[in-house]
Amino acid sequence: MLKVGLTGGVACGKSTVGAMFVARGARLIKADEIAHQLMLPGQPVYEKILQHFGRDIVHQDGTVNRQKLAQAAFGGGRVEELNQLVHPAVIAHQDRWMEEEGARHRDAVVIVEAALILEAGVEKRFDKIIMVTCRAEQKVSRFAARQGISAEAARQEVERRQAAQRSDEEKIRAADYVIDNSGSPAETERQVDAVFRELKRLAISH
């Protein structure tokens, strides 16, 4: 088994690249989706978030309003506080999942897609790190399209989120592989092909 971390800046296309790896046989889990599950009512993380951020960040049905939580964290300078509540549980879940997948599929390439691998200090838990990049203006346009907001609103939100992350340059220096998602899907696919061949070879010999 080979443990791989897939990371990248805001709206660079991590999920798109992750899906391309899955199509080639990799097994993937998303840190965001784990966090969503851990924030459901009744979960320990949910209770901690309400204790720290109050009931103003929940919907009427009691579920966490992630937009309000993000505003409270990013807008209030409390990103690190939120990360300390969520990251340990997410990391523990990721570790269990990777071990289970490795036990079932000895030669598997298992990938954790997460924006904050370096920020959380968990890069050493992986055998290889992949960084997805794109041009700055593409981040804004892609984020605007994804959220259905104006370019200016998207620019502000991208800048706000990037301020809470390591720079793309730092992430590139820390990565074993860099996939440039600035071009056409076919160009990205070619890069994924080359990287996956190498990862599969390493997984078999690992």
Share of the chain above pLDDT 70, in %: 100
Query: Structural domain tally of the chain?
Result: 1
Q: How confident is the model at residue 120 (pLDDT cuts 50, 70, 90)?
A: confident
Q: Give the range of the structural domain holding residue 183, as residue numbers without chain letter.
A: 2-205
**Stretch 127-132: mean pLDDT, rounded?**
98
Cα 106 off chain centre by: 24
Q: How confident is the model at residue 162 (pLDDT cuts 50, 70, 90)?
A: confident
Per-residue pLDDT at 76 exceeds 80 = no
Cα 87 off chain centre by: 12
Rounded-to-integer distance, Cα 170 and Cα 24, Å: 28
Note whether 49 and 64 are within 8 A (CB). yes
Rounded-to-integer distance, Cα 68 and Cα 44, Å: 20
pLDDT of residue 187: 97
Per-residue pLDDT at 75 exceeds 80 = no
Enter the pTM of the model.
0.89
Provide the CATH number for the domain around residue 177.
3.40.50.300
